[in-house]
Structure 1
Amino acid sequence: MRTRPYRVVQWATGNVGTRSLRCVIEHPRLQLVGLHVHSEAKAGRDAGELCGLAPVGVQATRSIEDILALKPDCVLYMQQGANFDDICRLLSAGINIVTTRTEFNHPASLDPVLRARVEDACVRGASSIHATGSSPGFITEALPLVLGSLQRRLDMLRISEFANLAPRNSPELLFQVMGFGQAPDPRRDAGRAHHLRQAFAPSLQLVAEALGLGFDSVEASGDVALARRDTRIAAGELKAGTVAAQRATVTGLYRGKPLMRFKATWYCGTDIDADWDLRGDGWHVEVDGDVPLDLAIRFPVTPEQWPRVSPGLTAHRAVNAVPYICAAAPGIRTTVDLPQVVSDLGP
């Protein structure tokens, strides 16, 4: 049994990274030894203060050289966008990585040149990298693999994700970035479908292959529903005839038939011009096979609690995976490669 804590660096402090940082500081088997940030305003500040805790004596840095010099066991890599130069430098130096980036969920889906570069860095550093999170991750990999263990035949796996955005007071995100309250735009719908295909198809493919199946092809689509009347939400007003709900669907086909489907539905109002399933925040998982299953997973939190709770959906599984990736063989390691991730909640 390991007697010393894993020495960990937190890389980036957005919503998820800040939660991860706090979890590392408070974890009984992890030791925060470094913090990498991108903002000049955060550089030099104490890591504890950046996540709402008392000072811990670890100062944030913008220098990868500082991180390499620490020789940590693992980096929790949670920045926007994957910098493969930095990732390969860390791996080549023998530093393991757990990331919430989606590029590494299914190694075969990576650009072959990039994959070879990362794998070579893992070999040179005897290190490994693992991608996880809530969605994709837990809901598209860990849970389906467990449910699949009950089957001897799988006809169809459907995963539906629901997010009621009406209580969220984020006008720029909802109206400008996501396009709620705007006129329908087919280009935006296509872009949303493309984004989900890039993020979720590799994760679903991993599960399909693990079950001895796979995909012949992948389809992706996006559509919207419009508000039937003016609607007031926390971020502002949705005018009648503008976008009030959005869906994006990714489907993997096997032998010409749908085998796995992920559908994300986000909405700011329920009075829409379409007959959609608009249930509360959470997931709905349906398994058609020789052991049919129907699971509803809800997030029973108030709108006021949501900003505090939601970052943990992605951050916690990554933090809990640190011991497993540190013990893994060198390479890009997936949910299929690692043992089941079990949380250490001890004192």
Structure 2
Amino acid sequence: MIPTVVWGTGNVGRAAIRAVDAHPMLSLVAVLVSSPAKVGKDAGELSGLGRHLGVPATDDVDHVLSAGPRAVVYAASGDVRLDGALEDIGRAVRAGAVVVSPSVYGMYDCRNAPPEIRDVLLEAVEAGGGSLFVSGVDPGWANDVLPLLVSGLGSDIDVIRCQEIFDYSTYDQEEAVRQLIGMGHPLDYQPLMLADGIPTMIWGGQLRMMARALGAELDGIEETLDRRALDATVVTGTMGEFAAGTQGAVRLEVQGMVEGEPRIVIEHVTRIHADCAPDWPTAPDGGAGAHRVIIEGRPRIEVTVEATDEGENRAAGGNATAVGRLVNAIDWLVEAEPGLFDALDVPLRPAVGRLGKK
């Protein structure tokens, strides 16, 4: 068994605890939290498993890492605390652990990551012999391994489009929805995630990775953005009221340009209510969310994935699949040489030993 730590118990961390518990080759040995209110609570309670796992949460990072865990699922946020996330991940890698995480956007494409991020993590690998694999929580597989897999089913490819369609109305992350994305603010409010260059910082690595896999050279990366206001006030169960006239939907594209044309595109269509921007792409049958890969070419191929988890939390299905990609890579990473890995390095693993198990 591979002794594994889950660091963080938010939307991603809850799913990570469940995934580690389900994996036949992993053993959950510790759960790290930052909230004093969570210290001492059992991992099963924190993850919503409905049963105790006998692993009480702790905030003692030094003690947990000094025990030499073989793997760490780093699920704490890196959105607005990149330096903190890098410091935490670096500590775990220096302790010799294999670390998997969605928290550092700049490491999606580790070969072309910014030096100020990559060099810090390489030093940690060299110092401690650990490893790092970063894959996105949006989820990463929908913007790398899935489109590349589907591309291999065609003969001629004109455009590869990766689409996320999401209704935020039950998402349990109010600060991200209101402040980072701007839902509920006037349209002249500048949310961080919609600022020029930020979408490229987040998703540009995945465009470069796909281009590398396809043997294509990007001329550059361009962004498009559209925002729509709510026609009527809506009230959500988790975040309260969003007033009429404020931002209710966002559509953005990050486009990988090849010979002046957008050939690899990551598109996000997000709403706070299904009635906002009804002319934009929607999930099948009016559902709350989906991930779609569209290959424009010969033949034209379209694949849509819908994942659900945690009842009414509509982000939970996507989070769970993103976590599954990471946790299921741990045993492969443990056998690999120490280093920095991306989605083209790490194979998509089948759920061996889990068919029919609960």
* TM-score normalised to structure 1 length: 0.86
Whether the 8 Å CA contact 1:231–1:239 is kept in 2: the answer is yes
Q: Distance in 2 between matches of 1:233 and 1:302?
A: 21
- Cα distance, 1:306 vs structure 2: 3.3
Residue number in structure 1 paired with 2:21: 25
Tell me how far apart the structure 2 counterparts of residues 76 and 311 of structure 1 sit (CA, whole Å).
13
Cα distance in 2 for partners of 1:189, 1:170 equals: 15
Alignment of 1:73 with 2:70, yes or no, is yes
How far is the alpha carbon of 1:76 from its aligned partner?
A: 0.4
User: 1:221 maps to what in 2?
Assistant: 224
Identity between Structure 1 and Structure 2 (%): 28
Cα distance in 2 between the residues matched to 1:245 and 1:221: 14
Q: Residues 264-275 of structure 1: matches in 2 within 5 Å?
A: 264-272=268-276, 275=279
Aligned to 1:110: 113
2:347 equivalent to 1:339: yes
Deviation at 1:303, TM superposition (A): 6.9
1:74 deviation in Å? 0.7
* Aligned residue type for 1:119: L
- Does the residue aligned with 1:338 lie in a helix, a strand or coil? coil
**Contact kept? 2:160, 2:265, Cα under 8 Å:** yes
Q: Is the 8 A contact 2:162 2:291 kept in 1?
A: yes
1:185 aligns with 2:188: yes
Which residue, out of 288, 295, 299, partners 2:296? 288
Q: Aligned match of 1:61 in 42, 53, 58?
A: 58
CA distance in 2, matches of 1:302, 1:8: 23
Select the residue among 250, 260, 278 that pairs with 1:246. 250
Alignment: residue pair count: 342
Q: Secondary structure at the match of 1:197?
A: helix
Distance in 2 (alpha carbons) for counterparts of 1:64 and 1:301? 29
> Which among 88, 93, 96 is matched to residue 94 of structure 1?
96
Residue 308 (structure 1) shift: 5.7
Report the CA distance shift for 1:293/1:78 in structure 2 as closer, same or farther (over 3 A): same
Query: 1:59 Cα deviation (Å)?
Result: 3.1
C-alpha distance in 2 between matches for 1:16 and 1:267: 21
Of 142, 145, 151, which residue of structure 2 is paired with 1:142? 145
Give the drift of 1:264. Answer: 0.7
Letter of the 2:230 counterpart: A
Whole-angstrom CA distance in 2 between matches of 1:224 and 1:175: 14
Say whether residues 1:125 and 2:128 are aligned partners.
yes
Displacement of 1:87 in angstroms is: 2.0
TM-score, normalised on structure 2? 0.84
Q: Once the two structures are superposed, what CA deviation does each residue of 1:277-297 show, in whole Å capped at 9, x if it has no partner?
A: 344411232112344312233
> 1:25·1:32 contact (CA, 8 Å) conserved in 2?
yes
Aligned-partner residue type, residue 33 of structure 1: V
Residue 139 of structure 1: CA displacement? 0.3
Q: Specify every segment of 5 or more residues in structure 1 that has no aligned partner in the other structure, as ranges.
A: none
Structure 1 SS opposite 2:106: coil
| Counterpart in the other structure of 1:47 | 43
AA paired with 1:246? V
Shift of 1:132: 1.9
Q: Which runs of 5+ in 2 are unaligned?
A: none
Encode CA deviations 1:200-234: one digit per residue, 9 max, x unaligned: 11012111111111322111232211234x24343
Larger Rg: 1
User: Could you tell me which residue of structure 1 aligns to residue 264 of structure 2?
Assistant: 260
| CA distance in structure 2 between the partners assigned to 1:296 and 1:43 by the alignment | 40
